[in-house]
């Protein structure tokens, strides 16, 4: 009887893996979409270089870190080596230039936390946010992209988690839940912690890539093609990992004391970071250390109401993964 139960269980996990993998595949952007993004970037480069020949444009965020699902907007960083530009003035001028080139809905949001110009390209239908000199975001984009090349299970897990977070309404920083960037860091950390580990800690290895941005030294091992077999001792499937991820955040993470840190590849203590009490608007109820801006807690947007929502969602997901015979329906049910 045990053998029979065991075989049934294996078959269920096999089916579930297949379901998760098809969801993952269906979310991957088509090549055509990537080509359109390139086309828009080329147009923007042309317009920007007319006015500012030394400026450079970089893609960052999900269109460049390999965690972007299809039909995402693109994030562009305009890097200009001029210490004393006035960002608002610059953005207004940029908006002017773009407006006169038939781009639609051009809007300068100069008062936002990260000031940007928003626009939509009528030719490709792609929307785009342009920020100025946010070079750290370009570097953390590279770090995430490098991690994604080590083991395909990271990209699979992160797609499933992001898809879950969007379906359940817990991917809204303005409502006190977490950014996509925070969820990807949670996935990387989780895979660094598996036994055997599925991901290494790139910032803890020999430095092969190093840049200094805003006085922060960003250094890590980036020859990831040499790490293709890193996770091969761990045979866990995507279904097992999704189950374990939600189980960790529902029942095993120590919210009172722990900070997750992909920089160190381990858990560090809130005490050590002085994140034990509320400071201004930063409550530190769930702590996710930024890999480069280490004073930056990606969980700082979470307040005493939204932490409850978030933890209930983790518990709901863990429950579904444990007991629902067909978890993919309930897991992604719109809230």
Residues that bind Mg ion (CB under 5 A): 61-62, 75
How far is residue 329's CA from residue 219's CA, in Å, rounded to a whole number? 42
How far is residue 226's CA from residue 222's CA, in Å, rounded to a whole number? 9
Q: For residue 323, give both structure tokens.
A: 């007991």
Tell me how far, at minimum, the Cβ of 289 lies from ligand CTP, in Å.
Answer: 12
How far is residue 135's CA from residue 78's CA, in Å, rounded to a whole number? 9
192, 265 Cβ separation under 8 angstroms: yes
Of the ranges 23-31, 173-181, 252-260, 261-269, which one interacts with ligand CTP (CB under 6 A)? 173-181
Residues with Cβ within 8 Å of 333's Cβ and at least 6 positions away in sequence, in order, are 167, 168
DSSP assignment, residue 230? G
Q: Is 220 in the site for ligand CTP (CB under 6 A)?
A: no
Angle 258-264-265 from CA coordinates, rounded to 5°:
80
- Residue 66 binding: pick among ligand CTP, Mg ion, none (C-beta 5-8 Å cut-off by kind): none
> By C-beta, is 162 or 283 nearer to Mg ion?
162
Q: Is 261 in the site for ligand CTP (CB under 6 A)?
A: no
How far is residue 165's CA from residue 66's CA, in Å, rounded to a whole number? 18
Residue found under tokens 């920083």: 173
- Residue 141 binding: pick among Mg ion, ligand CTP, none (C-beta 5-8 Å cut-off by kind): ligand CTP
How far is residue 12's CA from residue 321's CA, in Å, rounded to a whole number? 12
> By C-beta, is 74 or 98 nearer to ligand CTP?
74
Kindly identify the residues of this chain, within the stretch 63-82, that bind ligand CTP according to CB under 6 A.
Answer: 65, 67-68, 72, 75
Binding-residue total with ligand CTP (CB under 6 A): 15
> By C-beta, is 65 or 156 nearer to Mg ion?
65
Residue found under tokens 């020949």: 53
Q: Are β-strands 127-132 and 74-79 bridged in parallel, bridged antiparallel, or unpaired?
A: parallel
Q: Contact letters (x/-) for ligand CTP, 24-63, by CB under 6 A?
A: ------------------------------------xxx-
Helix 238-247 crosses helix 152-167 at what angle (to 10 degrees)? 50
299, 285 Cβ separation under 8 angstroms: yes
- Residue 65 binding: pick among Mg ion, ligand CTP, none (C-beta 5-8 Å cut-off by kind): ligand CTP
Helical residues (DSSP H) of 197-305, grouped into ranges:
238-247, 270-273
> By C-beta, is 180 or 247 nearer to ligand CTP?
180
Nearest to 95 by CA among 109, 107, 83: 107
Q: For residue 150, give both structure tokens.
A: 């080590």
Tell me how far, at minimum, the Cβ of 59 lies from ligand CTP, in Å.
Answer: 10
Q: Is 298 in the site for ligand CTP (CB under 6 A)?
A: yes
150 Cα distance to chain centroid: 16
- Residue 192 binding: pick among Mg ion, ligand CTP, none (C-beta 5-8 Å cut-off by kind): none
Tell me how far, at minimum, the Cβ of 13 lies from ligand CTP, in Å.
Answer: 28
Q: Contact letters (x/-) for ligand CTP, 125-144, by CB under 6 A?
A: ------------x--xx---
Tell me how far, at minimum, the Cβ of 14 lies from ligand CTP, in Å.
Answer: 30
Out of 66, 180, 247, 306, the only residue in the binding site for ligand CTP (CB under 6 A) is 180
Binding positions for ligand CTP, rule: CB under 6 A: 60-62, 65, 67-68, 72, 75, 137, 140-141, 179-181, 298
């Amino acid at each position: 009887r045990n053998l029979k139960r065991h075989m049934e269980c294996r078959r269920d996990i096999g089916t579930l893996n297949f379901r998760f993998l098809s969801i993952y595949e269906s979310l991957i952007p088509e090549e055509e979409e990537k080509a359109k993004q390139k086309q828009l970037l080329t147009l923007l480069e042309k317009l920007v270089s007319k006015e500012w020949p030394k400026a450079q444009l970089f893609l960052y965020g999900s269109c460049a870190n390999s965690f972007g699902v299809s039909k995402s907007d693109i994030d562009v960083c305009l890097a200009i080596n001029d210490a004393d530009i006035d960002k608002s003035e610059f953005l207004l001028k940029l908006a002017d230039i773009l407006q006169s080139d038939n781009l639609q809905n051009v809007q300068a949001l100069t008062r936002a936390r990260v000031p940007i110009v928003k626009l939509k390209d009528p030719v490709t239908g792609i929307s785009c946010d342009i920020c100025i000199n946010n070079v750290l975001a370009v570097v953390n984009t590279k770090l995430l992209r490098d991690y994604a090349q080590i083991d395909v299970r990271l990209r699979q897990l992160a797609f499933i988690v992001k898809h879950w977070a969007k379906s359940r309404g817990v991917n809204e920083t303005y409502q006190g839940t977490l950014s996509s960037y925070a969820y990807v860091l949670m996935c990387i950390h989780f895979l660094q912690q598996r036994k055997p580990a599925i991901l290494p800690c790139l910032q803890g290895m020999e430095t092969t890539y190093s840049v200094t941005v805003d006085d922060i030294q960003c250094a890590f091992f980036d020859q990831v093609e040499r790490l293709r077999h890193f996770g091969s001792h761990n045979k866990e499937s995507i279904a097992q990992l999704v189950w374990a991820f939600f189980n960790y955040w529902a029942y095993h993470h120590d919210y009172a004391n722990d900070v997750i840190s992909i920089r160190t590849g381990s858990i560090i203590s809130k005490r050590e970071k002085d994140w034990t009490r509320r400071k201004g608007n930063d409550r530190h109820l769930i702590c996710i250390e930024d890999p480069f801006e280490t004073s930056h807690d990606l969980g700082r947007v979470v307040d005493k109401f939204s932490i409850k929502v978030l933890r209930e969602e983790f518990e709901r997901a863990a429950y579904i993964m444990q007991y629902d015979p067909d978890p993919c329906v309930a897991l992604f049910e719109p809230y």
